[in-house]
Amino acid sequence: MARTLYQKLVDTHTVAQLDRDNVLLFADLHLLNEYTSPQAFAGLDERGLRALIPGQNVATVSHIIPTTPDPLRIIRDTDSALQASNLKRNCDLHHIPLFDTNDALQGIEHVIAPEHGMIRPGMVVICGDSHTTTYGALGALGFGIGTTEVEHVLATQTLVYRLAKNMRIRVDGKLPNGTTAKDLVLMIISRIGAQGARGFVVEFSGTAIDALSVEARFTLCNMAVEAGARGGLIAPDQAAVDYVMQRCPDIAANPAWRVAALADWQALRSDEDAAFDVDHVFAAADVAPFVTWGTSPDQAIPISGHIPECDQENDAEKESTERALRYTGLQVGMSLEGLSVKHVFIGSCTNGRIEDLRAVIATIGDRKVAAGVRAMVVPGSGAVRMQAEQEGIAAKLIAAGFEWRKPGCSMCLAMNDDVLASGTRCASTTNRNFEGRQGRGSITHLMSPAMAAAAAVTGTITDVRKLEIR
Ligand SMILES: CC(C)[C@H](C(=O)O)[C@@H](O)C(=O)O
Ligand code: SF4
């Protein structure tokens, strides 16, 4: 029977079919962070269990780590410090490799795992974090789980997994100048809704997807979860294979392994006549720089657009729109262009990679951060940070007035000291604009790195296409 890429990934990892809707799924890799693992380890301790296959687990400190220049990266908040020291203790006890606070390569899990060659096409990757969907960019099935499930995966390297339905999102054509994968995904989410892919694993395909760099594909699959998807996949092509081979020298250098890997990876695509439960088609030409106006990632409009009237007949939608607008201090009919921002945040597992930082530099040219604006760049990992320093990106950012920080989640969700003051409006390259996400009362506008860079140098939300190149 013809199968989708998703079905193939599930089939190769099914240990047992539990019932019609559930399988026991094997995890090739389980990623852990300090935030969703403590109770899971405590649960194992209570039962006298140890991680079953420690080498197929990797941990990092990401959410609570300070990003200030302090080389020791000392965590002052006692609860957070305890989370980090617990993770260290637990990883030592269970022999799980850890990117600890003082590790030069530490970073956000979804940035470090691919860059170290840990993610390869055909894998199942699980993590107690919703943005694990990122790995679909390499043809790996990644998804987030809760802390009780983390315990189960540690103990058995498997998970009771409810099967998802198949959705295909096809995007053909060429993304217009000044637009990126971030704009594309914001457009898709604004069209299908924050719950539009709920219960589905989405496969992205089409000529516009083929043309995306691997890092741009990470951005796209990372945000699939913001449409409610349980996974986002892209069939691995030559670009994905090259990306992985460059990071897996042991496979690349061993002829037998390389041939076997390439044969496996080539089969990782949906069969011609595979059936999808839902199909969506979008034109790349319709993408413009997108910016969110509300408190849900689907409340996004093109920069040239206006905040839309909601469906007046739908009480729930009316109430949530009114609430969102009250929170963001905006009104129906308003344009976002020219709206002043006091803060700019560039980073996160969505847009904290080297290509994102290159886009920032290309946008700002010789401009400086506008007076009265605080702009912060937080690379997604130590490796990204080092590369940006080698390429001269860091020096340019600092000269332009940006704060150049150490890696971590930082102001994506403000679990460390990088917290916005109430009422502060922020242009942000992150993935969630929920109420209070970047600090109580803070207002988040999601956008691409180039758009955030344009906001930093102008002090207002600006159409990057109108910014003269210099
Ligand atoms: C803290 C963690 C559980 C959470 C997630 O699952 O996504 C966080 O990373 C986020 O982005 O909101
Ligand atoms: S960067 Fe943001 S979205 Fe990504 S894992 Fe950290 S908190 Fe979650």
Q: Give the residue, out of 31, 106, 108, 185, with the most ligand 2 atoms within 8 A of its beta carbon, to mutate for a pocket test.
A: 108
Residues 321 and 415 in one domain: yes
The phi, psi pair for 410, rounded to 5°, reads 55, -130
Number of domains in the chain: 3
Average pLDDT across each block of 10 residues of the chain; the chain has 470 residues. List them in order.
Answer: 97 98 98 96 97 98 95 92 97 98 96 98 98 98 97 98 98 98 98 98 98 98 98 98 98 97 97 98 98 98 96 90 98 98 98 98 98 98 98 98 98 97 98 98 98 98 94
Q: Are residues 310 and 439 in the same domain?
A: yes
Which residue intervals of 200-344 are DSSP H helices?
A: 207-210, 214-222, 238-247, 249-253, 255-266, 315-328
Ligand 2 centre to CA of 410 (Å) is 8
- How are beta strands 425-428 and 22-26 bridged, if at all? unpaired
* Angstrom distance (rounded) from CA 332 to CA 293: 10
Question: Are 26 and 124 in the same domain?
Answer: yes
Residue 200 and residue 318 in one domain: no
Site to probe by mutation for ligand 2, drawn from 134, 225, 430 as the one with most ligand atoms within 8 Å of Cβ, is 430
* Site residues for ligand 2, CB cut-off 6 Å: 62-63, 108, 110, 129, 131, 348-349, 409, 412-413, 430-431
The type of residue at 160 is V
**431 CA: nearest ligand 1 atom:** 11
Residue 377's contacts (CB-CB under 8 Å, 6 or more residues apart) are 346, 347, 357, 360, 397, 402, 403, 404, 405
Same domain as 150, residue 94: yes
Which domain, by its residues, includes 182?
165-236+270-286
Nearest alpha carbon, ligand 1 atom 2: 129
- Same domain? 311 vs 432: yes
Nearest to 360 by CA among 312, 331, 402, 307: 402
CATH number (domain holding residue 204): 3.40.1060.10
The answer to whether residues 192 and 177 belong to one domain is: yes
Angstrom distance (rounded) from CA 136 to CA 122: 9
For the Cβ of 131 lying below 6 angstroms from any atom of ligand 1, the answer is: yes
Q: Give the pLDDT confidence score for residue 401 in this predicted structure.
A: 98
Residues 163 and 132: their CA atoms lie apart, in Å, by 17
- Residue 193 CB burial class (10 angstroms; 0-12, 13-18, ≥19): middle
Co-location of 81 and 194 in the same domain: no
Within 3-63, residue ranges assigned H as helices are 5-13, 38-47
Longest dimension (CA), the chain: 63
Q: What would the two tokens of residue 330 be?
A: 């905006």
Pairing of β 343-347 and β 278-283: unpaired
Taking the centre of ligand 2 as the mean of its atom positions, its distance from the CA of residue 317, in whole angstroms, is: 27
Atom of ligand 2 nearest to the CA of 129: 5
CA of 131 to the centre of ligand 1 (A): 7
Residue 470's pLDDT is 82
Classify residue 20 by its DSSP letter. S
Domain CATH for 104: 3.30.499.10
Among the atoms of ligand 1, which is closest to the Cα of residue 129? 6
Do residues 105 and 251 both lie within one domain? yes
Which ipTM value was assigned to this complex? 0.98
pLDDT the model gives residue 71: 84
Residue 131 alpha carbon, nearest atom of ligand 1: 7
Q: Nearest 5°: phi and psi at 274? A: -65, 145
Nearest CA to ligand 2 atom 6: 409
Ligand sitting nearest the alpha carbon of 225: 1
pLDDT given for residue 340 in this prediction: 98
**CA 69 – ligand 1 centroid, Å:** 24
| CB of residue 348 inside a 6 A radius of ligand 1 | no
437 lines ligand 1 (CB under 6 A): no
Give the position, in ligand 1's atom list, of the atom nearest the Cα of 409: 9
Do residues 444 and 269 lie in contact, with contact meaning Cβ atoms separated by under 8 Å?
no
- Tell me the C-alpha distance between 403 and 420, whole Å: 15
Report whether residue 129 contacts ligand 1, using a CB cutoff of 6 Å.
yes
Instruction: For residue 348, give the ligand 2 atom closest to its CA.
Output: 1
At residue 261, what are phi and psi to the nearest 5 degrees?
A: -65, -45
* Ligand 1 neighbourhood includes 35 CB (under 6 angstroms): yes
CA 22 distance to own-chain centroid: 27
Dist CA 453 CA 430 (whole Å): 13
- 60 and 131 share one domain: yes
Question: Cα separation of 113 and 119, whole Å?
Answer: 6
254 shares a domain with 199: no
Q: Residue 438 Cα, ligand 2 centroid: separation in angstroms?
A: 11
Contact 378, 67 (CB under 8 A): yes
Q: Is the pTM of this model over 0.90?
A: yes
Q: Is the CB of 240 under 6 A from ligand 1?
A: no
Cα 198 to ligand 2 centroid, rounded to whole Å = 20
Q: Which ligand has the shortest distance to the CA of 431?
A: 2
- What do you get for the CA distance between the two ends of the chain, in Å? 56
- Evaluate: CB of 413 within 6 angstroms of ligand 1: yes
Of 201, 169, 168, 146, which Cα lies nearest the Cα of 10? 201
Q: Cβ(325)–Cβ(332) under 8 Å? A: yes
Counting every residue written for the chain, the total comes to 470
**Radius of gyration (C-alpha) of the chain in whole angstroms:** 21
- 147 lies in the same domain as 248: yes
- Rounded-to-integer distance, Cα 54 and Cα 460, Å: 48
Instruction: Tell me what pLDDT residue 76 has.
Output: 93
C-alpha distances in angstroms, 331 versus 61, 237, 259? 40, 44, 58
- pLDDT of 70: 86
